[in-house]
Amino acid sequence: MATDKPTILILCTGNSCRSHLAEGVLRAVAGDFLNVASAGSKPAGYVHPLAIRAMAEIGIDICGHRSKHMKEFLAAEIETVITVCGNVDQACPIFPGQVNRHHWPFDDPAHATGSEEEQMAVFRRVRNEIRRTFTAYADGRRDALRVGGIS
């Protein structure tokens, strides 16, 4: 992960839904100045198909993502860790070079029940919440770069 861009690591327990939604959004809106990755404390081993579908609906392709363990990043220089679910915040290690840590919990759409369309409604709602939050974060980072600061 050698890059001159700061690395943002998005963590969630299973690394199958929320962290991939956030990774996809943040890479789409800030990939020009941030390196973005995601991982989990207990990775599910797959990216949820409805997460892939929800992101495709807004023009972001995450079908190439894979579920990863956060240990894969322990040797990487991580500037910011963002946790997007409650459980991983307690399990999150400190990464070498880590400057910032944010905890922004979102509902887990993987637990949605009902018909596939009812489940998709939950995936869309969580995707939209993540999109708003991470777009605002990217906008703030971009503004800070313009004035020469870091956040």
For 19-35, write each residue's pLDDT tens digit. 999 999 999 999 999 99
- For the whole model, what pTM was predicted? 0.90
Helices (H), ranges, the chain? 18-30, 49-56, 86-91, 116-146
pLDDT for position 31:
96
Which domains occur in the chain, in start order?
Answer: 7-140 (3.40.50.2300)
pLDDT for position 41:
87
Q: Which long-range contacts (CB under 8 A, 24 or more apart) does 86-95 make?
A: 87/13, 87/41, 88/11, 88/12, 88/13, 88/40, 88/41, 91/13, 91/41, 92/11, 92/41, 95/9
Catalytic site positions: 12, 85, 92
